[in-house]
């Protein structure tokens, strides 16, 4: 399998639940990203990892906790979320951080609904 | 700071019509510019890019020219098809460490 794969595609969770989103890339990339996509708003960068090290936390609430065990896998652990956290969560990867000539490769996203 | 402004949608066109989606940017350095497309239920796919002034990016009949003097990167296609119906995002990066996206423009092409 190639590209960036995100699971699950859809997730409904209660505000007291704990769940995790998974992202896996088979492109040999070394930088991975979490973005939040909400209606009528620009994509919001949440976290950046480069060679497994977190390089960016864009003022994300602590109820979102990322994990990057290796360059191919990225997780987003969720707990005690709020209804306003409902959105499409996109994972992306790139060869390395700091290459302005190349774009990202995105996964298909996880549609999260918090009830 | 860095930001991208796209024209408000939604845009509805008849098949074979000419498409223009406007994009202007603000950047502190010399950015690379990108257009991404998002089909229903999917993530974003890179459509085309330009890395320096006057460069023209092109792919699948779409084109955009990096205009430094007007800080613009408008997306054009001469003859749209129903299969082009999607949301289009303009984006920039100056360092490659972070991308800045516009809000997206929804395009619907009717037969």
pLDDT band at B30 (very low <50, low <70, confident <90, very high): confident
**3-state SS class at A85:** helix
pLDDT of A53 strictly over 80: yes
Q: For residue range B38-76, list pLDDT tens digits in order.
A: 998 888 999 999 999 999 999 999 999 999 999 999 999
Closest Cα in chain A to B52: A101
CB-side neighbour CA atoms (13 Å) of A31: 19
Measure in Å the smallest separation between the Cα of B103 and chain A Cα atoms. 4
Q: Are A83 and A115 in contact (CB under 8 A)?
A: yes
Higher pLDDT, B24 or A2: B24
Check CB contact under 8 Å for B99 and A107: no
pLDDT of A26 strictly over 80: yes
Q: Which residues in chain B are closer than 8 Å to A98, comparing Cβ atoms?
A: 95-97
Burial class of residue B43 in the structure, from the number of CB atoms within 10 Å of its CB (0-12 exposed, 13-18 middle, 19+ buried): buried
pLDDT of residue A2: 61
pLDDT of A97 strictly over 60: yes
């Amino acid at each position: 399998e190639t590209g960036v794969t995100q699971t699950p595609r859809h997730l409904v969770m209660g505000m007291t639940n704990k769940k995790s989103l998974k992202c896996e890339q088979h492109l040999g990339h070394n930088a991975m990203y979490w973005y939040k996509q909400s209606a009528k708003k620009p994509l919001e960068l949440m976290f950046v990892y480069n060679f497994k090290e977190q390089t960016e936390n864009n003022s994300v609430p602590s109820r979102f906790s990322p994990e990057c065990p290796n360059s191919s896998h990225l997780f987003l652990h969720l707990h005690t979320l709020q209804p306003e956290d409902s959105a499409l969560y996109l994972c992306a990867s790139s060869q390395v951080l700091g290459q302005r000539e190349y774009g990202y490769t995105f996964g298909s996203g996880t549609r999260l609904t918090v009830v | 700071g860095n930001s991208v402004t796209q024209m408000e949608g939604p845009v509805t066109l008849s098949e074979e019509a000419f498409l223009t989606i406007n994009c202007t940017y603000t950047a502190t350095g010399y950015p690379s510019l990108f257009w991404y497309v998002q089909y229903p239920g999917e993530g974003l796919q890179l459509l085309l890019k330009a890395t320096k002034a006057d460069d023209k990016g092109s792919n699948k009949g779409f084109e955009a020219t990096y205009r430094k003097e007007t800080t613009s990167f408008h997306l054009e296609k001469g003859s749209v098809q129903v299969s082009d119906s999607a949301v289009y995002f303009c984006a920039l990066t100056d360092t490659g460490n972070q991308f800045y996206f516009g809000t997206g423009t929804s395009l619907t092409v009717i037969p």
